[in-house]
Amino acid sequence: MKRPARWVAAALAAVLSCAPARKPAEEIVFWQFWPAEVVTPLLEEFEREHPGVKVRMEQLTWQSGQEKIVAAVAAGTVPDLCEIGSTWMPRLLAGGRLADWSAGVADLKPALRGWELCTVGDAIYGVPWVLGTRALFFNKTLFARARLDSTRPPETWVDLQRAAAAIQRLGHGVHGCGVQAGERYVLSKKFLPFAWGNGGEILSEDLKHAVFDSPANREALEFYLGLRRVGMIAQQDALDREFKEGRLGLAISGAWLFRQIAKEAPALRYGVALVPRPANERGAHASWAGGEVLVSFNDAKRKQLALELARFLVRPENALALAGAAKSVQPATVGADTSAYYRAHPLEAVFVRQFETARFTPNHPVWGDMEAAIEDEVEQALYDRKSAARAVEDAQARLEELAGKK
């Protein structure tokens, strides 16, 4: 071949490879934590809706996914779309590396709960996908054995205390109520529902000051400590195991128990109720709520496509597909409890109703340290190292110091 001919051939090849028909698929990278068999069908549906787009999904593990995300953010090799647990959001929000989606998701605001998880001031840095909360599980068989009405779960603190006491009296390794031992990221989720339900708060509304030392919070901690006499202190997995084995009357736990009970204790007769409130006509059925947020990063290559995929995933039917399969979470969709799925699964629907009175933790940059401080002090009271009043007072001092930090 002569030289000009070779040039022509090369030019022709170049033109052909740019032709629209041969355009390579646009690839969007999505990191998330759920089993592939649940998420992949959703992503295939998205690809059908968006010809020419390919989603490369990577499944992270709950054990090491967080480290992987931190490393990726540090190295600038971020995915386009990423699922982040609410525990990690305050730090990331403070870091300023998340893409601002305020405009892109504004129209979704009335349809979803959980915007608190990804909002700073007026700016929104993500979209809530699925949420999780804690509710009260109770064993109907033990209720009957203790001559309690198993169709009427405890409504108030007094009800809870009485029911637990009656079941505790059964003896033979049966305990009334599960009391959470010191465990990072868990203890606060068990104690704070009582504090919030009693009208207690952690930080002032502008997040600048601690308002933890209040009669409401002292009373809540006193009540929580009192449950030790009618229950057993243990860590989450041990309490869950006792409940599944039918030896624990009442336990505040998460929706992951649904799957576990179905698999390990299908014969267990149990019910689920809202977290009790201080008294009839007083306080609220408060609980802790967290969730999984879909975010993109400023460094991401395909932020617009990431937003489209996020909007697709939070559609009611898609969030429900995930929540129904996982059971440990519920859709962030407002009114999800009226869907056919939750009408057919009334126990799981209690969790969706619990969202209405549940609280999200404050988005303070050092919320993680604040949570640790609260857990520290509550734990010291649980182990009788401090009185409830003293623990609340000391927590206040630590929170006030942390509130000034960035």
Contact letters (x/-) for other proteins, 278-317, by CB under 8 A?
--------------------x-------------------
Binding segment (CB under 8 A) for other proteins, from list 49-57, 149-157, 354-362, 364-372: 364-372
327 binds other proteins (CB under 8 A): no
Rounded CA gap, 203 and 383, in Å?
25
Q: Which of 47, 100, 356, 369 binds other proteins (CB under 8 A)?
A: 369
383 binds other proteins (CB under 8 A): yes
7 binds other proteins (CB under 8 A): no
Min dist CB 330 to other proteins, Å, is 26
123 binds other proteins (CB under 8 A): no
Nearest CB to other proteins, comparing residues 55 and 82? 82
Residues 74-93 contacting other proteins, CB under 8 A? 74, 91-92
376 binds other proteins (CB under 8 A): yes
Contact letters (x/-) for other proteins, 188-227, by CB under 8 A?
----------------------------------------
Residues 225-254 contacting other proteins, CB under 8 A? 232-235, 237-238, 241-242, 247
Number of amino acids touching other proteins (CB under 8 A): 35
* Lookup: tokens for 98: 């998340």
Tell me whether strands 119-120 and 53-59 are parallel, antiparallel or unpaired. Answer: unpaired
182 binds other proteins (CB under 8 A): yes
**Whose CA is closest to 394, among 406, 382, 376?**
376
401 binds other proteins (CB under 8 A): no
Residues of this chain that bind other proteins (CB under 8 A) = 66-67, 70-71, 73-74, 91-92, 94-97, 173, 181-184, 232-235, 237-238, 241-242, 247, 298, 366, 368-369, 376, 379-380, 383, 385
